[in-house]
Structure formats: structure tokens, C-alpha cells
Amino acid sequence: MSNDIKNNEETKTNKVLDRREFLDWCLKAVPAGLTMTACGFSAGELNADEGKKHPAVNESQAEANYAMAIDIAKCIGCGRCANACKKENKVPDGPHTVRTWVERYVIPREGETMVDSPNAGINGFPELPENTDILKSFFVPKLCNHCSNPPCVQVCPVGATFQTKDGVILVDEKYCVGCRYCVQACPYGARYIHPTKNVADKCTFCYHRITKGLLPACVEVCPTQARIFGDLKKISSPIHRFLRFHPIKALKPELNTRPKVFYANADQEVR
């Protein structure tokens, strides 16, 4: 593994535990093997030389780092992204199981900011009450932030949700036990429990599309190009240019999740 890759991958590989090595180590340490501390230590010890032992760990993976940027000034709140997501990913119908949704912010001259997202914005937004004294109003599309430091992956007890080498957070629906800890740990409300599969479900950046060279469905259908998708490592990628020329805000930066969904022209009320 070359140095720069290792740096880029450090968050992904460092906390990862290799099964075979874990087994080997545990068998050597049988007397202490059953205890929690043994498990805890094994992780630390393995990290140090994991890179050396598995030089080809990346061989079959594309070395990308996918990310999305959203220009709030361009979003017209048509909800086509949320609609396309439901269709592309066969997300269960209903307003409370969504992978992406559009929020409408209405900031009045005085008083509390109002936010709504009826049916994720798919059917449009109801008219504002008359005499709403608006200071400003705008739409904010939301989705899984595919954090570089994902709290959901940290808390998953079985390794059923994980970060791929190209920076996408996925859920293994055949392995998820449905404990819902990841739903609790997500600060962005991006996860839900699939009502029939009984496993956690979330945005995949349309992993099945991007690995075929297509755009995520929401980006594909956005009529105003408010959503920009690309590979952070490629200088030619549109997201690269976008990040260079816009002041960017990430959601809830104080939690150090290091999101990879970047917002341009976001108001401070956005959270």
C-alpha cells in the first residue's frame, strides 16, 4: 500500500479488524480469549501491521472517494430527487421511509424558523399561510452524508454497515440484525428500518449506478443541477471544481463526522 493511499484510507482501515488474524491471535491467547479486554486489545495490536500483511487489500476496489455537493441557491424544491430515489432503489412508499428528502425552510422576519418536508417533498409543498412575513425561504435536499468518520459504522455491533474503500457507507441487508443502534447514532436522520426486510436501510449514493459509470438517480434527475456528484480524488471531477469555487458548509460539523455531502449557500439555520 503506497503512502498516500494509506493516509487517505486511514480512517477506514485503522478501526477494522481482520477476522483471520483475530482468530489466530485469540487462539494464541486462549486463557484470556473470552474476555472483552482480549477483544479490545486485539484490534489495537492488529492495526499496526495490517498494512504490511495485506499489501493487496485494495486490488479489486476502485480507488475513488465519492462525494456530493448541493447548491441550495439552485434547488427549486421540485422533489424530483426524492421521487427518483424511491423509484430507483425501491424504497418503501410512505413519508417516513426515505433515503433522501427535501426540506423547505421559511425564516420569518420575527420568530422561529419553520421547516417542513411533507412526503419528503415529492408532491410539492403546501402554500404558506397568508401574511407570512418572510425574511427568506429556500429548499435544502438532505440525504446520508457518507461521513468520513461515520458514527453509524462505529456502533454497528456485527459489521453489517461499513465504509467501502471508495468512501460509500453501505448496509449488508443479509447480515444486519436490526438492532437499530445505527439509526440512533446517525445525527442526520438518514437511516430508517425497512418495514418488510426489518433491517437498516439508507442512501447508497446509488452504488449500483456509480460503479457502472452512471450518476446517482437524484443527481441524474435534478433539473437545475443543484446536486453535483463526483470523485474527490479526480481533479477533472465536477465536484472538484464546485468545491473550489463555492464556500462550503457541512452539516453538524461539531460532531466531527466529517460529512461528504457539502452544501453551498447554506443558511446558518440549516441543520
> For residues 42 and 147, what is the distance between their CA atoms, to the nearest angstrom?
26
Q: Which helix (H) or strand (E) holds 245?
A: helix 238-245
Query: What is the total count of residues that contact another protein (CB under 8 A)?
Result: 114
> For residues 120 and 143, what is the distance between their CA atoms, to the nearest angstrom?
11
> For residues 61 and 114, what is the distance between their CA atoms, to the nearest angstrom?
44
- Rounded to a whole number of angstroms, the minimum distance from the CB of residue 151 to another protein is 6
Instruction: State which of residues 5, 114, 232, 250 lies at the interface with another protein (CB under 8 A).
Output: 114
Residue 248 found at the interface with another protein (CB under 8 A): no
| Burial label, 4 (beta-carbon count in 10 A; 0-12, 13-18, 19+) | exposed
Residues 211-240 that bind another protein (CB under 8 A): 211-212, 214-215, 217, 220-225
- Give 233-242's long-range contacts (Cβ < 8 A, gap of 24+): 233/8, 233/63, 233/64, 233/65, 234/64, 239/67, 239/68, 239/69, 242/69, 242/71
CB of 40 or CB of 247, closer to another protein: 40
- Rounded to a whole number of angstroms, the minimum distance from the CB of residue 205 to another protein is 10
Residues 18-47 that bind another protein (CB under 8 A): 18-20, 22-23, 26-27, 30, 33-36, 39-40, 42-43
CB of 67 or CB of 183, closer to another protein: 183
Instruction: State which of residues 51, 92, 108, 187 lies at the interface with another protein (CB under 8 A).
Output: 187
Q: Convert 149-217 into a string of H (helix), E (strand) and C (coil).
A: CCHHHHHCCCCCEEECCCCCEEECCCCCCCCCHHHHHCCCCCCEECCCCCCEECCCCCHHHHCCCCCCH
Residues 139-178 that bind another protein (CB under 8 A): 139, 142, 151, 154-165, 170, 172-178
> For residues 164 and 144, what is the distance between their CA atoms, to the nearest angstrom?
15
CB of 222 or CB of 239, closer to another protein: 222
The window from 186-194, 230-238, 242-250 that contacts another protein (CB under 8 A) reads 186-194
Of 38, 37, 48, nearest in space to 15 by CA: 48
Residues 48-107 that bind another protein (CB under 8 A): 57, 61, 73-80, 84, 87-89, 95-98, 101, 103-106
CB of 33 or CB of 234, closer to another protein: 33
- Rounded to a whole number of angstroms, the minimum distance from the CB of residue 16 to another protein is 4
Q: How far is CA 257 from the centre of its chain?
A: 10
